[in-house]
Amino acid sequence: MKHIFIKGKNEIAPTLLLLHGTGGNERDLLPLAQMIAPDSSVLGVRGNVEENGMPRFFRRLQEGVFDEEDLVFRTKELNTFIDKMSKEYLFDRNNVVAIGYSNGANIAASLMYHDNKALMGAILFHAMVPIRGIELPDLSSVKVFIGAGKRDPLIPPLETKELADKLREAKAIVTEHWGEGGHELTREEVEKANEWFKVNYSN
């Protein structure tokens, strides 16, 4: 997978896994990483799927309808890739926090849905329920920040609420922030994510 790795100043801070939205790339969320955790190492990854020339992390059948078979395959592929990168770049595989936006947030959620050791934590901006009808693993050691827009035209609030509820049922520690905007990222939710990160991961 195409990616970028930047070693951070703080070697015991979590490594940030950066997962872009549809049409993005491995560098898209670097400014976010700087705002949220400037001393952390970062692994930015580009999705392996293309939709009309735009990179994504998994296929969809239409807007809001995921190709679940491909989602499961790509989730395992990404998880294995993180394992491999941890050995190549010598970061702690058990100390990874994802920052995902939209499609990237959905694959991050899918990682947690399928493997309780895939991520130590996650910041999910504008995420949906990745898949239904499966039993989630015990996520009692996982902390999740969810940033959402009350007027998001692509993701109904009930969809994000369901995601938060499912993660809580799996014993994850979930913090929600609801802004007044739509699907776009806002400075307010990034600042809230920074506050959340400092509370949970600052040494």
* Residues designated catalytic: 102, 152, 183
**Looking at the DSSP assignment, which residues form a beta bridge with residue 97?**
16, 121
Taking each helix axis from N to C end, the angle separating 103-114 and 157-169, rounded to the nearest 10 degrees, works out to: 20
Pairwise CA distance, residues 146 & 108, whole Å: 12
Neighbour tally for 4: CB within 10 Å: 14
Q: Nearest-CA neighbor of 50 among 103, 124, 10, 127?
A: 103
Cβ atoms of residues 36 and 116 within 8 Å: no
